[in-house]
Chains A and B, each alone.
Chain A
């Protein structure tokens, strides 16, 4: 229907109020505050220029967090995509009990990140460890917990994240894969194409916009990693698994260093918005081309 000006107002106003009031306005006020010594408990506030940002960037712990999160994102996102795509590919055609398979394969994503951390804590540490159980069967004695090892802690955190997110990727990719016209698969099959060729020549071109959207969400999720790290390792051992989000949470809410927490939070936002700009360019190209 043709919308009048009044219709538009009615349609857009609720969302505009919700988003500007609860996200836009606080974020902007917060951005302004990072250039001052503002904290909710401060009695006086001074202009601080870029001092907060300089302090964050010079903090070795934040540096460690940035390094960890880059490794985390570069490893976790491709593996989540590959695993999630593989599962969606297996489920794309009708199969006996497809609904049941899909629900079972979505379960890990339904576990909240914090519960995920709690669960893996018990699965990896102490008398209830699933590792010790497995090792016992092949005649080994106890296995040291990987989350206490400087070299293994980050890979373990990444593996736990992949376990939770890959099923979500499957969930997001499956409708797209299922809507690829059947003739395309049939032609490829009759031509004798291997499954690799089918993935590369049929599935990926058809899924490009959807894949871009999923990658954007996964990168944002990775760059903000917080919940399961908090429970599993608390950032340790040393700074081996610190993430920028954990760093800003600790600064703002644990040691009450509000300006540093807020400034580092904004650096996370800037990183994700930067990725978002790249996404907007790529999405536009795939819409027009």
Chain B
């Protein structure tokens, strides 16, 4: 038993070592970017290379000079992603519950088809979609962006929520029905409270996916309304290339809200699972 104990301790030490190496490797590029955003730049002309510059917040101010509407775009991205995530969750939660409490032939196939739909890249449908949206006058509108983003991310949400809801025992719902509760009271007072962690986790992942979408808002808009990824792309395709410190500052600003969200909800995020037969 003693050797087992020693082996465990050695294993734990190795794990910490490997994890530290992995974090250094994965976060190195981000740290490089964060340093640049605060004005600390590499100087490759010296031997050995060194760092130059002093810590400043100027580059964050410069974003607003290089792209006057950047802060407005940040607000657009935030609100649009939040609205799209909520819409996705509402539609997907209802459908996932319906699937979880129905028995029919091909139910498994149908559930798996949602994952196939989720794996379709945006380029597969975005060209005709942009045309249809313009024709129904939803091009270049906030509503158009929200509805499309919601539709694009919904299949993944259905798949994950279905997996979570079918774990719930139907007994509580039966009891509520015996008390005379209708569908919405069962959903609101029984199912939702039990499924809150999974629903919140899914909503956060949907928010991240919506926030980072480029192609969908890009082809649906032509300048009246812009999200952050579209603004970032404009910088580079219209030859008004940003200075690195300013671009780095914009990158940091666009990453911080997501990092805070992930940090605050990291426990809940463990409930986002594609494993639909968890308990079996």
Contact = CB atoms under 8 A, between A and B. Distances in A.
B71 interface: no
Given A110-B259, A114-B229, A122-B248, A249 B44 contact: no
A18 B151 contact: yes
B119 A216 contact: yes
Q: Which of A3, A30, A284 is the most central at the interface, judged by chain B CB atoms within 10 Å of its CB? A: A30
A210 B275 contact: yes
A132 B129 contact: no
A69 B49 CA distance: 37
Interface residues of B, number: 106
Interface centre among A25, A87, A136 (most CB of B within 10 A): A136
Given A15-B154, A179-B278, A3 B101 contact: yes
Contact of B123 (A178, A248, A275): A248
A104 B173 CA distance: 39
A260 B28 CA distance: 41
A122 B42 CA distance: 12
A188 interface: no
Contacts of B65: none
A145 B248 CA distance: 19
A8 B98 contact: yes
B29 A217 contact: no
Contact of B44 (A30, A127, A163, A283): A127
Contact of A110 (B115, B124, B170, B255): B255
A14 interface: yes
Interface in A217-276: 217, 219-221, 223-227, 230-231, 244-245, 248-249, 252-253, 258, 261-262, 265-266, 268-269, 272-273, 275-276
Interface in A21-79: 21-23, 25-27, 29-31, 33, 40
B238 interface: no
Contacts of B58: none
A287 interface: yes
B210 to A, nearest CB: 11
B183 A219 contact: no
Contacts of B258: 110
A238 B4 CA distance: 58
A102 B23 CA distance: 10
B80 to A, nearest CB: 14
B36 interface: yes
Contacts of A99: 266-267
Contact of B236 (A22, A103, A113, A118): A118
A50 to B, nearest CB: 18
Contact of B16 (A10, A95, A172): A95
Contacts of B48: 136-137
Contact of B132 (A7, A29, A104, A130): A29
B244 A272 contact: no
A31 B125 CA distance: 9
Interface string A157-193: 0000001001100011011101100000000011000
Interface in A87-140: 87, 90-91, 95-96, 99, 101-108, 110-115, 118-123, 127-130, 132-133, 136-137, 139
A259 to B, nearest CB: 10
B128 A220 contact: no
Contacts of A199: none
A14 B187 CA distance: 15
Contact of A175 (B113, B236, B273): B273
B202 interface: no
Interface string B112-124: 1101111111111
A25 B132 contact: yes
A231 B277 contact: no
A273 B120 CA distance: 8
B127 A132 contact: no
Interface of A: 1-3, 7-8, 10-12, 14-16, 18-19, 21-23, 25-27, 29-31, 33, 40, 87, 90-91, 95-96, 99, 101-108, 110-115, 118-123, 127-130, 132-133, 136-137, 139, 142, 163, 166-167, 171-172, 174-176, 178-179, 189-190, 207, 209-210, 213-214, 216-217, 219-221, 223-227, 230-231, 244-245, 248-249, 252-253, 258, 261-262, 265-266, 268-269, 272-273, 275-277, 279-280, 283-284, 287
Given A14-B94, A106-B262, A130-B42, 18 more contacts: A10-B183, A11-B97, A12-B94, A15-B94, A99-B267, A101-B23, A108-B30, A112-B228, A113-B214, A113-B229, A133-B42, A136-B47, A172-B272, A190-B4, A213-B115, A261-B127, A262-B127, A275-B119
11 contacts: A23-B151, A87-B19, A87-B22, A95-B19, A113-B212, A163-B29, A176-B274, A176-B275, A269-B125, A272-B116, A284-B108
